[in-house]
Structures are given as structure tokens and as C-alpha cells.
Structure 1
Amino acid sequence: MSMTNGDRLRIGLVGCGNISLAYLLNAEMFDGVSVTACADLSQAAARARGDAFGLKVMGTDEILVSPDVDLILNLTVPAAHYDISRRALEAGKHVFTEKPLSTNTTDGRALVELARAKGLSIGSAPDTFLGAAGRHARRLIEDGAIGRPVTGTAFMMGRGMEHWHPDPGFYYQPGGGPVMDMGPYYLSMLVNLIGPVRRVQALATSAHAERELSAEGPLKGTTIPVGTPTSVSSLLDFAGGAQVTFVTSWDVYRHTNRQIELHGTEGSIGLPDPDNFSGIVSLSERGAPWADLDTAGLPFGALNWPREAPDRGNYRMLGLADMATALIEGRPARASGDLALHVLEIMESILKAAETGQPVEVSATECQPAIFSEDDAKRLLS
């Protein structure tokens, strides 16, 4: 597809909710992308974003076929991801979608195959692994700092959503839960670091049959049913031979586990929260004391969010900017549909293994992103 706005990919944003603000603000830092139009089921939401950022406001049907749009940025709710992405691809548009790629592997694979058949690119969040912490950790592993990865742990644990979200019922039903909601950040990072998964085993449980809402709002004090496991322990068997224990839970008050640690034949590495783009990366070579590096000084590492009082790095749009460059250079994007599909299949396989008590094989795939160097990162900046 030609891009008539210089070398900038003309983006039509569908879904003008909270997450769209980060994408729109961050778009300004990249040379290769230009958000030009927006749409939402709520005309008021679309108008608010359009007025704030100088975007043309369109209906959803209109934006998906507009000749002035090269790519659809799909920021709708997960249940709508498949339909919007499919319609965009059928209209000849590239697609970048918020996570997950789709709500199930069958639909996700259909999207990837449709994009391939039409010669289009499809990518998906999360792109946090492209941030400063993920890049630095990948470089250390590639340089042999921990030798051959052998084992590791990943922990995503907290108290759930009812303490801050005014209406969190959907988080506790099939398609939600800690695996499907937060798993993409951890699994995308792990696949980036050590490659694809070939098999999983898992156990699951739930602390409560109902959850009481404590967040401020009209539903405070009411209860919601729990229809999906809220604590899931899995063992990931990677194609390269490493085995990583991955625990996700919304039943934990407090813990001291590092989000990700990997241990190899020559040392160990620790990473910060993969929902963020930066943080402390720790390295222990052959048992030496941990050496910590704050990645805030690297590209896409500085604390920038929220804008009024930054306490973390948030560079959503980075994966899409890389996709824009990939289209020009004729190479695969790093936050690719293949990666997102593999992560989606891992998550489904974890839940299936927990339900059946049996190991589940994961499709063999070559989806580990190409290394994203510091020079690559700098070239994307305006």
C-alpha cells in the first residue's frame, strides 16, 4: 500500500477510550506515523479526541474503507478486536491492535492468515518488550551474559480489579482472568528473550466464588460472580530447552517475588514489570552480587507517564512505529501478528492444561522478534 503523506503511515484510530490518549500523545515523537482520523461507537468520545488532536472524525464503517487511511489502529474492547481487524484487512488496510490479537486462537490465526494472503501487515500490543528494559535484557542474553537459559520464574500477582475498577465484572468471566488480561505482557517479553514455547502444564484455582466491589462508584459493596480461575500456576517448556514457572494471581495481598528472573549456565538476570517499558534490569554473573542498571537513560526508558507526575515509562505506539519502518524496509515488524498469535495460543493452552490436568502442546512457530538495537530505537525518534 502506498503512503501519500511522505513516508508517514496514515493511521485511522478506532476506539477512543482511555488507552487512546497514550497512543495519540506518543505518536508525536515518531517520524513514521501520523494519526489522521478517529472513530468510536460513542460520537462524543470520537469528537473529544478529534478536537483535542486535530483528527477527522468518521463513523466506523467510513474509516475502515477510507482511501486516506493506510492502517487501522484497533483500540476497541477485546470482544470487538476480531471483527474490526478483519474488516480493516478486507478493506486493504494494515492493522495494529491492542492486546489480545483476538479472544481465541482460531480467530487470531484467521486474522494472521488473512493479512498474509492480502500482502498486508498485522501487529499487536503489547510492545513493551521493545522498551529500554526489554532491549537491554535481550542484548545481555544474546551476548551470553547468563549463558544458555535453563530455568526461570515469572510472577504477576495482586488483589484483582474490584479495588479500583468501578465495574470489573468482565475481568472475572471466561476471556478475562489474570492469564488472559496480563499474560500478554509477560509472555511477549519471555518469547522476545528466549524464543517460542512448545508445551505447557498448569494448575488453577480461585480464592472466592464471588468478589465484593470496593472501588468507588454505584456498584460499591455489591458482589460479582467469578467464572474463570483467579490463580493459575503454569510451567512453560520453551523450544530452546528452558523451563519457566509462570504464576498469575488476583488472590495475593503482598509478595516479594521479582516479576521475571531467568537463570542460565553462566548467571542470572532479573527484569522489572513487563507492563512498563523501563525499570531496573539486574545481572548476576556466576553468582556475583546483583548489578543493577536503571534503564531510564536509554531511548524509550525515561519516566513519562502520567504526564502531570511521571512514575513510569509508557511508550505505547512504539510497536506501530516499528511496523511503519518495517513496511518501508520490507522486513517483519517486531510486535507482529505471529508473535501475538503465539502468545494467545500459549494463554489458551495454559487454561486448557489447568482444566484438563494434562500437558498441552503449543504450535511450533518462528516468532521471536528480531533484536531491537539502541541504534534502531534512536532512528524511530523524530
Structure 2
Amino acid sequence: MERVGIGIIGCGNISGAYLKAMASFPILDIRGIADLNRSLAEAKAAEFNVPAKNIDELLADPKIEVIVNLTIPKAHVAVGLQALEAGKHTYSEKPLGISFVEGKKLAEAAKAKNLRIGAAPDTFLGGGHQTARALIDKGVIGQPVGGTATFMCPGHERWHPNPAFYYEVGGGPMLDMGPYYITDLLNLFGPVAQVAGFAIAPRKERIITSEPHSGEHIPVHVPTHVVGIMAFANGAVVQIGMSFDVAGHKHVPLELYGTEGTLIVPDPNHFGGEVQLLKKGGSFEPQELTAPYADGNYRSLGVADLAHAIRSNRPHRANGSLALHVLEVMEAFHAASETGRTVTIATETERPAPLSDSLINGRLGK
């Protein structure tokens, strides 16, 4: 199969994981990496033996078909629109945009130009999450009833070298970590119909404890503790909590309930992890992982699936419809908190097709 030319814009903290994982997918041909900070692009290019270019060069290269957008969230839509205007498919880090209006603008531009858009996370394609999906689809937990989704930590200023953007508009725990959890829940349960919730910001500023900005103060412009309920179209009701204000907790990341059993799903920020099933009247038992991509960090699996989809003329899984639905759901928690009302989700999306086969050995999932 002919390789797909890839251009990467953005050389921040996540770019190394993408570049490392991309090397494992033969269909991806990395033709250049760029950043507004040229020295940063050159350093990353030297580390991974790929060409350093400027953004205009990437967009003008006729052999580049997909731009992978790894810029900060508030630049995702602007860079995506630039790529679409240059005739490139685009795949961005999460979230699709920092607002639903922005994300919809990108989706409409892609449709007008007959180009594809996609967005992280792609961890739902990992073996742990695909195994959990297969169990649900087989009916082992019976009729889906509900679940819990939990990410809680003291805040990213503990470890990130430049954490300020996590507390600007477009940041916060819901837009930062919510995409992993909500996208995986869409993979497992399907689309969301309604949202209720509360969002608060207990502190007006944060103090960085990581280097090189240790001791600096960060103003907080977004809610940092968000809790809510998602009512899914399949009838299940899931509680969610996303926080940068919790010292510690004992909740598992994802726990799903059905009339016949309970399923513990691995951390959706990772591709693998243990799946546990409790059947009614029994106890939790580990399940054999039945899908690939559970043994490492395959961050770019969604890009590889997009590339195969382009060549095979089929839908890609980490697609724009899915990402826009997730963005609307995340924004709805804040709207519900501000209005005191339940928010009905307007966008429609389908559960992505399961990924049971490898994108490396050529046995492509349909």
C-alpha cells in the first residue's frame, strides 16, 4: 500500500510520543516537522531523524496529504483551517477546538473542501478498550445501566514544564482529560443525549512547583473541578468527575454497570491495562485481552487508521464527527452549571467501528 505523507506542526511536550509511535506504522511517511520556534523543531527533527521545515513548506509540499496538528489547544482550529485551505487532511491533538463554535467551523470547512479531519484521543482503539467493547457487544454485562468516569489530581503545575495554558480558556480538567474518558465512553456506549453538571474554580491562582518556572503564580480562568451526569442514547446514565483540585482518591478511571454484570475498563489515557468483569453473583475476574495495541504507547494509532482509511476509501475511526460530539458534551457541563439546566446534545455521531485487526501487518479492520 502506498505510504501517506505526513507533516507535523507543533513540537511541544506530546510530539515525542507521536514521533516515536509513528515509526511503528509503515504506512506513515513523515516528510517534515515544524514549529514557530525553529530551534525547537530542529532539535526534535535531529532526535527522530526527520526533516525540520517551516510551516509554509509543509503546507506547500504536494507529497504531504495529512497535517498532524500538535499545537496548543487554542491554536488547533486556526492551524487546522490553514491545513484545509492548503488542501490537506488534518488530525489534531485533543480537543478539536476550545469551543464548540470553533470546532463546528473546522468541521464545516472540511466538509466544504471534501477533506477529512480527525482528532485525538485514539487510546480508545487500544487493546484494553477494544476488549472491553467486545465484551459489552457480546452482552456479558446485560443491558447497560450506568457507570462512573473519574480523573482527579492536584493539578499539572506539579510536573509540566509550561503549565499555564492548562488554566487558560481552552484548558481545565474537562477539556484536557475529558476527551479520553468521553471518547472511550462513546466507543463503549455510543452517543450522549443529555448532560447535567456543575463546574467550579476553588482557587483563583496556582503556584508552579515544576521547573523551569517553579514558584511562579498562574491565574486561573477556567473551572478546575467539574462533576456531572451524561445520559446516553442507549439509556445508560454515567457519572463523571474531572478535577485539578483533588489530593488523591480511590476511584477506578472507568467502571460500567449492566443488568448482568460490572466491567472495569483500563485508564483511557493508555492503550492497554487490565479489564475486569464481575458477573452477577460472582466476583471481579481479569479478562484476556483480545485486541492488538495493548502493549505500549501507540499515540498516533488514529493517524495510522486515518492513513489506511484514505487509501482504502473507508471511514476513519478518530474522526471529526466523534471529536465534535465530544467537544459539545464537554462544553455542555459548563453550560449546565451556569444555567442550572440539563443540556440536550445537538450533534449526532456513530460509534466508531471496532478495531480488531492490526494496522501494521496489513489485516485491516473494516
TM-score (norm 2): 0.94
Alpha-carbon displacement from aligned partner over 1:271-318 (angstroms, at most 9, x marks no partner): 1211111111111111310011374x852111xxxxxxxxxx311110
Aligned runs of 1:1-382 on 2, under 5 Å?
7-217=2-212, 219-293=213-287, 295=289, 299-302=292-295, 313-374=296-357, 379=362
The gaps in structure 2 that reach 5 residues or longer are: none
Q: Distance in 1 between matches of 2:226 and 2:358?
A: 39
Alpha-carbon displacement from aligned partner over 1:228-252 (angstroms, at most 9, x marks no partner): 2211111001111110000111111
The number of residues matched between the two structures is: 364
Residue matched to 1:308: none
User: Structure 1 residues 364 and 166, CA, compared in 2 at 3 Å: closer, same or farther?
Assistant: closer
* Amino acid across the alignment from 1:254: G
* Amino acid across the alignment from 1:379: G
How far has the Cα of 1:55 moved from its partner? Answer: 2.6
User: Structure 1 residues 17 and 240, CA, compared in 2 at 3 Å: closer, same or farther?
Assistant: same
Please state whether the residue corresponding to 1:84 is helix, strand or coil. Answer: helix
How far has the Cα of 1:375 moved from its partner? Answer: 5.4
Equivalent residues of 1:202, 1:234 under 8 A apart: yes
Equivalent residues of 1:37, 1:55 under 8 A apart: yes
User: Which range moved further: 148-157 or 30-39?
Assistant: 30-39
User: Which range moved further: 169-178 or 127-136?
Assistant: 169-178
Q: Distance in 2 between matches of 1:116 and 1:104?
A: 19
How far has the Cα of 1:121 moved from its partner? Answer: 1.2
The gaps in structure 1 that reach 5 residues or longer are: 1-5, 303-312
Q: Distance in 1 between matches of 2:182 and 2:44?
A: 32
* Amino acid across the alignment from 1:323: L
Please state whether the residue corresponding to 1:202 is helix, strand or coil. Answer: strand
Aligned alpha-carbon RMSD (Å): 1.8
Please state whether the residue corresponding to 1:17 is helix, strand or coil. Answer: coil
Q: Distance in 1 between matches of 2:163 and 2:45?
A: 28
Equivalent residues of 2:26, 2:360 under 8 A apart: no
Q: Distance in 2 between matches of 1:222 and 1:316?
A: 31
Q: Percent identity of the aligned residues?
A: 45
